């Protein structure tokens, strides 16, 4: 390869459009503005990238047949051009709250829900299903699992994307997920090294600091990464975080030679691919320009530059750094060899492996067997946190009229509707007369008044979907108002993100944690509410007091079950 072709292999770019050569007018304009060309195939021809990443907002993931056609089209552009190297096509498909490929693909519980389920076998099966569907779509690399230990319950960026707060449990589930993806022929990328679980800042918008000592890092953050590396995981993703104990220079880990080369490669022994988290995130752009970031990441020991915001600037900066001697061509060659080894391991140099098969897409993506397995796995994740009066399970005979209201956060790609509507529909299928009322994540006083009026109209129970409720917030006001009505119907909350809402809303009759608002987890919550199954989930993180974070109200492992006679069927 020429120098330009080798540098291209280090880049994982995004493209706009649902087709390789025929984008919509708006997509062509966006490609031209950000990438200098009009189509996805043109991007491949211009930059010769080692890979592409798919996003819903880039219109890459409309439906399975379209995704497969896009994969084939860009792969053909890569193989027919110079240097004729297949693309590594990737996506950020963690499931739960992060899902770029949506229905009719199978949507599965996310990491914290799986952590609540407690079964490594379920984690492995979920990854195998997810991987099989991605591979059928021509996607060979998934940016999962998260190996971050959720030390800070208020973590704004990781949260339910973590398996939990116990390093040993996270290690076990990370290992299982890696095995499941590997069985499906997909390369997982364990993330976010050296550990993003104790940050109070979102690295998408700022540069977080983690003030763990080296000893704390070894005890809390390192174990899941050590476990992942013991499996021979092929890819590790870096975090845009500063850990002064690991690098006193205070550079983001993505740009830190002591972290990437010193710890990850030399001390932990990783000789596979290292990929950055998205280089468009503010956390990595606070100290250096976009061109400089690309050069410093490679100097640190990174192989793949993911989603740079100015690809041409970054590409030229790396080439210039080689020509001026700051980077050697031998250093570029090291990364190219690692990337080519991974592509060979995935079978991408064989044409029958590089392209998709229409029959496989139809038979695999969103199959009945996969969807049934997702429902079974989700049933074991729903966690009953409180039910002091023994209200649950609900029965159509005694609580037949149910009002479902509350938060309807923007759904992950492909869910069938707002969470309140999905939960109401699932309860209706189970014999309840359920109606839905969306009050939003920031309900207005008018929305609260309407909810109170509906609650006074005669329902036997009120279910409220809650989303990261803060004391004194509009959601808090809504639930407090509902629980304050004299002789009003019992109020049950279903937390659709973190399980901490139960601590902020002590007046509710019962509280469940679903850990996400995807269809599969809401259907599972409905079956638990109706007594079709007993809640089996156990908290993988502690729930602290909102007034005193050092006081744990609900410890790791907490979760209630129904007595054997309580199930209605």
Query: What residues are annotated to the active site?
Result: 204, 277
Residue 42: which of 7, 69, 18, 78 has the closest Cα?
78
Give me 41's structure tokens.
């195939």
Contact 199, 162 (CB under 8 A): no
Contact 236, 228 (CB under 8 A): yes
- Distance (Å, whole) CA 86 – CA 403: 53
Buried b (16+ CB within 10 A) or exposed e, 333-352: eebbebbbebbeebebeeee
Give me 253's structure tokens.
């880990």
Alpha helix segments (H runs only) across 365-500: 368-379, 419-429, 445-455, 474-483
- Distance (Å, whole) CA 503 – CA 555: 12
Q: 3-state secondary structure string, 313-342?
A: HHHHHHHHHHHCCCCCHHHHHHHHHHHHHH
Contact 489, 462 (CB under 8 A): yes
Residues in the chain: 569
Secondary structure of the chain: what % helix, strand, coil (to 5)? 40, 15, 45
The Cα diameter of the chain in Å comes to 78
Contact 310, 290 (CB under 8 A): yes
DSSP symbol at 361: H
Is 188 in a helix, a strand, or coil?
strand
Contact 155, 468 (CB under 8 A): no
DSSP letter for each residue of 492-554: EEEESS-TTHHHH-TT-SEEEE-S--SHHHHHHHHHHHTTSS------SS-EE-SS-TTSEEE
- Distance (Å, whole) CA 69 – CA 87: 14
Give me 98's structure tokens.
């992060």
H or E stretch at 88: strand 88-91
No. of helices (H) and no. of strands (E), the chain: 21, 16
Residue 46's Cβ-count burial label (10 Å; 0-12, 13-18, 19+) is: middle
Strand partners, 495: 466, 513
């Amino acid at each position: 390869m020429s120098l330009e072709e080798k540098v291209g292999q280090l880049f994982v770019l995004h493209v706009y459009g649902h087709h390789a050569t025929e984008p919509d007018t708006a997509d062509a304009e966006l490609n031209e503005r950000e990438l200098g060309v009009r189509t996805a195939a043109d991007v491949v021809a211009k930059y010769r990238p080692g890979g592409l990443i798919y996003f819903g907002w880039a219109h890459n993931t409309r439906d399975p047949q379209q995704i497969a056609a896009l994969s084939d089209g860009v792969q053909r552009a890569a193989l027919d051009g110079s240097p004729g190297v297949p693309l590594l096509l990737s996506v950020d498909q963690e499931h739960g709250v992060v899902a770029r490929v949506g229905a009719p693909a199978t949507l599965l519980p996310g990491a914290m829900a799986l952590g609540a389920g407690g079964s490594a076998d379920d984690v492995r099966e979920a990854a195998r299903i997810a991987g099989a569907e991605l591979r059928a779509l021509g996607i060979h690399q998934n940016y999962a699992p998260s190996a971050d230990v959720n030390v800070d319950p208020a973590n704004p960026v990781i949260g339910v994307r973590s398996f939990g707060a116990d390093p040993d449990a996270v290690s076990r589930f990370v290992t299982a997920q890696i095995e499941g993806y590997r069985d499906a022929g997909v390369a997982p990328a364990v993330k976010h090294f050296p550990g993003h679980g104790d940050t109070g800042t979102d690295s998408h918008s700022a540069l977080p600091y983690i003030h763990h000592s080296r000893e704390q890092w070894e005890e809390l953050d390192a174990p899941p990464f050590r476990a992942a590396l013991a499996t021979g995981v092929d890819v590790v993703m870096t975090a845009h975080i500063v850990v002064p104990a690991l690098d006193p220079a205070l550079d983001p880990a993505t740009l830190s030679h002591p972290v990437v080369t010193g710890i990850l490669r030399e001390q932990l022994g990783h000789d596979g691919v290292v990929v950055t988290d998205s280089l468009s995130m503010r956390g990595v752009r606070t100290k250096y320009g976009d061109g400089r970031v690309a050069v410093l990441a490679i100097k640190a020991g990174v192989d793949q530059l993911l989603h740079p915001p100015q690809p041409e600037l970054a590409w030229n900066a790396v080439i210039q750094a080689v020509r001026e001697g700051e980077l050697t061509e031998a250093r570029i060659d090291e990364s190219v060899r690692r990337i080519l080894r991974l592509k060979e391991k995935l079978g991408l140099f064989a044409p029958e492996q590089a392209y998709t098969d229409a029959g496989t897409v139809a038979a695999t993506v969103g199959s009945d067997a996969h969807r049934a397995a997702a429902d079974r796995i989700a049933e074991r994740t729903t966690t009953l946190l409180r039910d002091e009066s023994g209200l649950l399970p609900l029965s159509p005979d005694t609580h037949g009229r149910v009002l479902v209201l509350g938060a309807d956060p923007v759904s992950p790609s492909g869910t069938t509707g707002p969470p309140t509507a999905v939960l109401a529909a699932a309860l209706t299928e189970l014999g309840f007369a359920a109606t839905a009322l969306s009050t939003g994540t920031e309900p207005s006083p008018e929305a609260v008044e309407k909810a109170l009026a509906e609650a006074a109209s005669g329902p036997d129970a009120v279910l409220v979907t809650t989303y990261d409720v803060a004391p004194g917030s509009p959601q808090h006001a809504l639930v407090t108002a509902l629980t304050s009505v004299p002789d009003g119907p019992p109020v049950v909350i279903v937390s659709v993100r973190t399980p901490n809402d139960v601590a902020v809303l002590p007046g509710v009759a019962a509280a469940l944690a679903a850990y996400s608002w995807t269809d599969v987890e809401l259907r599972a919550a409905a079956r638990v509410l109706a007594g079709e199954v007993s809640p089996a989930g156990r908290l993988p993180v502690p729930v602290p007091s909102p007034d005193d974070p050092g006081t744990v109200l609900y410890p790791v492992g907490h979760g209630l079950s129904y007595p054997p006679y309580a199930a209605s069927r």
